Structure 1
Amino acid sequence: MSVATETKLRTENIKPKIGSRVLNSKEELLSGELAAELRDLIEQRGVLVFPKIDFTEDEQIAFTKTLGNYAPENPDGSVSKITLDVKENPSAAEYLKGSLYWHIDGTRNDVPILASLLTCKVPSPKGTGNTGFSNTYAAYDDLSDEQKAEYDDLKVLHAPWASLFYYEPEPGLAKLKGMQAIGEKVLPLVWEHKSGRKSLVLGCTSHHVLDVPYGKSAEIIHGLREWATGPDFTYSHEWEAGDLVMWDNTGTMHRAEWYDPECGRMMLRTKLEGEEPWAE
């Protein structure tokens, strides 16, 4: 007589306040039996690493669908190529330059995506092309009570065009207007989630804090970014072919670390549809 066995989630923490490695097999992950636990773990840890899991494109999509509603970026539902190589990604390579700076995806949308899943097909040379992550839940939690009281009710204008000045300090007017056409949105500096937890909403799309002098605004935005991207709250993943990394976009900043656009680095991305609008 066969005996049913329960699939156990096997993990190990990467750092005390961010990141866990998931050590289950491809078959166990694709079964969907671990989906609820993985959803809980990604909120707690910010980043989940699946070392050398070697998903095919179809398997990556199937795994994404076990975790929530798949949010395809392409009309045919395929995975998205993430690379700065203009030959491979001519339409997005320019826009992706902003990904080299700390950010949260979807700051101009009413509902940001829940999570991104990135598979490495071709890594860049060692020492380049890592992806950095910052746990903005943990960064908020470790602020002093006085700081929390100061920041809790502040609002920030977020705009993709603000990120343009990080990599092109003197853009032409046409390029600026093109980026401005993408849109902008006022968001809380501190996002109180439906769960009751709070996270910082930061990154290179942050333009200014509302109703605060510009000098003080810059101190708040850049000071908190410096705090949240300190060693306690960050993890830099050095990619190997076959790795999959998933991160909670609602409480984690990320950035690609510099690499040569012509080195062949190629990532494949899927996303989970957002489930919670930004707090008012």
Structure 2
Amino acid sequence: MQIERLHRDFGAEISGISLIDAVSSADAFTKVREAFEEYSLLVWRDQPVSDDIQATFSRGFGPLELVKVGSVGHGTFYSRMNNIGTDGSIVPSDDKAMIVARANQLWHTDSSFKRIPALASVLSARVIPTQGGETEFTSTRAAWERLDTSEQSRLRDAIAIHSYATSRNKIDQNMMSPAEHAALPPMRRRLTWRNPTNGRCSLYLASHAGAIEGMSAQEGAALIERLIERATDPAHIYTHSWRPGDVIMWDNRATMHRGRPWGGDQPRSIVRTTISASRQDGLDDVLPELWPQRAAA
């Protein structure tokens, strides 16, 4: 396996081992898993990707999430994000798919608002516009390590409130249906997540986070905004320009990402599978309700 670093903080392009290789060989999978833990973001080019290949590869890292209510692909393992209607035409700018795309242009980490947050996401390019539509990433592990020790001490055990409504209301307060509101209540998350494989800590941030326990609403929101701004300074960003056949996997414990706009007259179709975190991924560290169990273990 060859590894080409993409950014000084994180990220690597993988060659010599394909997704199919990782599915077929325990040794190849072990190498990919080690690279995932080390670099947080992995990129493959020119993959013969299909839904089955993507799901089988993803499942090697843990159980797959079912797509939430209100999203295209609900009840399956495949979150389908595209601007192509059922008749093959491009949907208008006020279609819900395009409103969701605008919401996904906020910095976030996937599924932080769910009862069980995500370990990782795998995103594959199926149809790509000729201009725009990039995805930007930043390392929240590096962001944590840039904080001075006094900041780390103050933030390490802070609790943030994550809610899907928090990010969606920034775009359109009528974006979520009653069923989505009922299915996705606010969740408490530690502001940091420790990787048990290498012991390194990351800020756990997202546009879904809107408040900090023990702070006023204004103070908590301002702290989250400042931390996101510091983490996403342009010098700390890797921008991925997509090509058909690209596959990206990222660690939701240690990164944030956002989509970028593209021309409304150009088709785009990408497919995401999402892997739920488990106790072996440090889940106890980020869920405050599990801390008594952690202490007793």
TM-score of the two chains, using structure 2 as the length reference = 0.79
In structure 1, list runs of 5 or more residues that go unmatched: 1-8
In the alignment, is the contact (CA less than 8 A) between 2:139 and 2:236 conserved in 1? Answer: yes
SS at match of 1:224: helix
SS at match of 2:274: strand
Report the alpha carbon displacement of residue 213 of structure 1 after superposing the two structures with TM: 2.9
TM-score of the two chains, using structure 1 as the length reference = 0.84
C-alpha distance in 2, partners of 1:12/1:105?
25
1:117-172: CA deviation from partner (whole Å, max 9, x where unpaired): 1111111232x10011111111101211121122112111111111123323xx35
Match of 1:239 in 2: 242
**Aligned-CA RMSD value:** 2.7
Match of 1:29 in 2: 22
> Structure 2 matches for 1:140-155, cutoff 5 A?
140-155=144-159
Match of 1:83 in 2: 82
1:75-97: CA deviation from partner (whole Å, max 9, x where unpaired): 88563322244657977654454
Structure that is richer in helix per residue: 2
Report runs of 4+ in structure 1 exceeding 4 Å deviation: 74-78, 84-96, 174-179
C-alpha distance in 1, partners of 2:200/2:191?
14
Which of residues 287, 292, 296 is equivalent to 1:279?
287
In the alignment, is the contact (CA less than 8 A) between 1:83 and 1:261 conserved in 2? Answer: no
1:24-74: CA deviation from partner (whole Å, max 9, x where unpaired): 253533423321221221122111000122323322223223444344545
In structure 2, list runs of 5 or more residues that go unmatched: 68-72, 289-297
C-alpha distance in 1, partners of 2:171/2:85?
17
C-alpha distance in 2, partners of 1:108/1:216?
21
In the alignment, is the contact (CA less than 8 A) between 2:110 and 2:121 conserved in 1? Answer: no
In the alignment, is the contact (CA less than 8 A) between 2:120 and 2:249 conserved in 1? Answer: yes
Amino acid at match of 2:80: K
Amino acid at match of 2:10: I
Amino acid at match of 1:268: V
